[in-house]
Amino acid sequence: MAKTSKSKKSLTYADTGVSIEAGDAMVGRIQQHLRKTHGPRVLGKHGAFAGMFRLDFNEKLFKRNYKDPVLVSCTDGVGTKVLLAIQLGKHDTIGQDCVAMNVNDMIVQGAEPLFFLDYIGTHSVDPVHMERIVKGVADGCSLAGCALIGGETAEMPDVYGKGDYDLAGFSVGVVELSRIVEGDQRVEKGDVILGLASSGVHSNGYTLVRAIVKQAKLDLNKVYKDFDDDPQFAGKTLGEILLEPTRIYVKPIVRLLAGYKRKRPISGMAHITGGGLPGNVNRALPENLDAKISRKSWEVPALFKFLQKHGNVDEDEMLRVFNMGIGYTLIVRPHFAEAIAEKLTKAGEQVFTLGKITAGSGKVVFTK
C-alpha cells in the first residue's frame, strides 16, 4: 500500500499499487497465445464477460458420439512449484503444469477435455512474465487438445509478495454417460495394472522438494553427476530438472478409450498426484479389492533417488509424496493388457506392467 504517511493525500487506485495500464498491456500480449488454441467451436472475442464454447459446432459429429453427454470439470493449481519457477526466473512451462494437473484428472473418468481457463493471483502484473505464464498454459492446452477460452489475473499486492504469484486452472470436458470410467464399479480381481512413466516430479511435493534443496544446500544451477546415466536429464541443471513440466496424458488415453467402441477393457484409471501411488490408485478400487504392485516392475528414476538421499527421506514417505516415476495408471482386463500396453507404447508412452488386482480392502499393497 503506497504513501499512507501523507495523510491528506487524495487517494487513487494507482497509488495502491494496482496498475490498470500494466493489465491492459498484458491482455494485448496474451491474445495471440489464446487464439492459437481456438478452433471453430470457440465463439466470441477476447475481453467479453465470459468465454463461449459451442457444444454442437457440427451436429453430425457431436450428436453421433454423444447421446447423453455428461460435463466433467475439475480445478487444480501447481502448488509451490511456482516458487521454484520464480526463484529460477523461468515462467514459460509452469502453465503446462497447470493444464496437466487438471486434464490428467479429468481423463481418469473417461472424459475428453474441451476447454480451459486459468487464474493468476499476483503481487503486481509484469506483462512479460504474465505473457510467459499464459504462453505455457496455451502450450499445455495445445498438448491436451483443448481451447483456452478465458482467464483472470488478479493484482493483490497485500496478499502476494513482490514477484510472487499463484496459478490455478479449471477445465471442462465431456463424456458419454454410459462410458464414464468408474474404477470402484468395474475393477475386477485379476485385472492388470499398467503404469505410464512420469516426466519428473510433475506438480506435487514441491514444498518437500524445496525443503530438501534448502536443508542439503543443493545448487539449482549445478549439473549433478547423479544424472549422468539418465537419458532425459543428463547435462541439465538441477533447477531445469525440477522444473520439467508435467506430462500430459490426454491424447493417448482419449484415443485409447475411443478405440474401444463396444468393449470396455479399461476398468479404472488414476492420475498420480499428491498421495503418490498408494493415495491415488486406491481411488479406482472397489472396497473389497487391492492393487498389488511390485516394486521391481519399474525402475525409480535417478531424480527421486537423488531427492531421497539428500533429504534423508523415508521410503514410505517418498511413495506417499512423489509419483516415483509413474504419472498415470490404468487398470485393464487381463486379456487386453498386452494390446493396450502396445497401443500406448506406439503413442509414445513408456509403459510398465505394475501388478494385479487381488482380493483385499481397497488399498495399494507393494511387494518386493
Q: Could you tell me the smallest distance in angstroms from the CB atom of residue 154 to a copy of itself?
A: 5
Residue type, 16: T
Q: Could you tell me the smallest distance in angstroms from the CB atom of residue 147 to a copy of itself?
A: 10
Q: Could you tell me the smallest distance in angstroms from the CB atom of residue 308 to a copy of itself?
A: 10
Contact 329, 263 (CB under 8 A): no
Q: Could you tell me the smallest distance in angstroms from the CB atom of residue 44 to a copy of itself?
A: 8
Q: In this structure, what DSSP letter does residue 257 have? A: H
Convert 124-155 into a string of H (helix), E (strand) and C (coil). Answer: CCCHHHHHHHHHHHHHHHHHHCCEEEEEEEEE
Render 183-241 in DSSP notation, one character per residue: HHHH--TTPEEEEEE-SSSTTS-HHHHHHHHHHTT--TT---GGGTT-TTTTT--HHHH
Residue type, 283: R
Q: Considering the complex, state which of residue 79 and residue 301 has its C-beta at the smaller distance from a copy of itself.
A: 79
Contact 270, 323 (CB under 8 A): no
Q: Considering the complex, state which of residue 216 and residue 300 has its C-beta at the smaller distance from a copy of itself.
A: 216
Q: Could you tell me the smallest distance in angstroms from the CB atom of residue 269 to a copy of itself?
A: 8
Contact 30, 134 (CB under 8 A): yes
Residue indicated by cell numbers 467402441:
261
Q: Considering the complex, state which of residue 105 and residue 349 has its C-beta at the smaller distance from a copy of itself.
A: 105
Q: Considering the complex, state which of residue 121 and residue 236 has its C-beta at the smaller distance from a copy of itself.
A: 121
Q: Considering the complex, state which of residue 62 and residue 294 has its C-beta at the smaller distance from a copy of itself.
A: 62
- Exposed/middle/buried for residue 366 (C-beta within 10 Å: 0-12, 13-18, 19+): middle
Q: Report how far residue 164's alpha carbon sits from residue 156's, in angstroms, rounded to the nearest whole number.
A: 10
Q: Considering the complex, state which of residue 270 and residue 341 has its C-beta at the smaller distance from a copy of itself.
A: 270
Q: Considering the complex, state which of residue 32 and residue 58 has its C-beta at the smaller distance from a copy of itself.
A: 58
How many Cβ atoms from other residues are within 10 Å of residue 237's Cβ?
17
CA–centroid distance for 70 within its chain = 22
Q: Could you tell me the smallest distance in angstroms from the CB atom of residue 193 to a copy of itself?
A: 17
Q: In this structure, what DSSP letter does residue 263 have? A: -
Q: Indicate the helix (H) or strand (E) that contains 173.
A: strand 165-176
Q: Considering the complex, state which of residue 121 and residue 145 has its C-beta at the smaller distance from a copy of itself.
A: 121
Task: Classify 41 in phi/psi space as left (phi over 0), alpha (psi -120 to 50) or beta.
Answer: alpha
Contact 100, 247 (CB under 8 A): yes
Q: Could you tell me the smallest distance in angstroms from the CB atom of residue 112 to a copy of itself?
A: 12
Q: Report how far residue 216's alpha carbon sits from residue 226's, in angstroms, rounded to the nearest whole number.
A: 15
Q: Considering the complex, state which of residue 168 and residue 241 has its C-beta at the smaller distance from a copy of itself.
A: 168
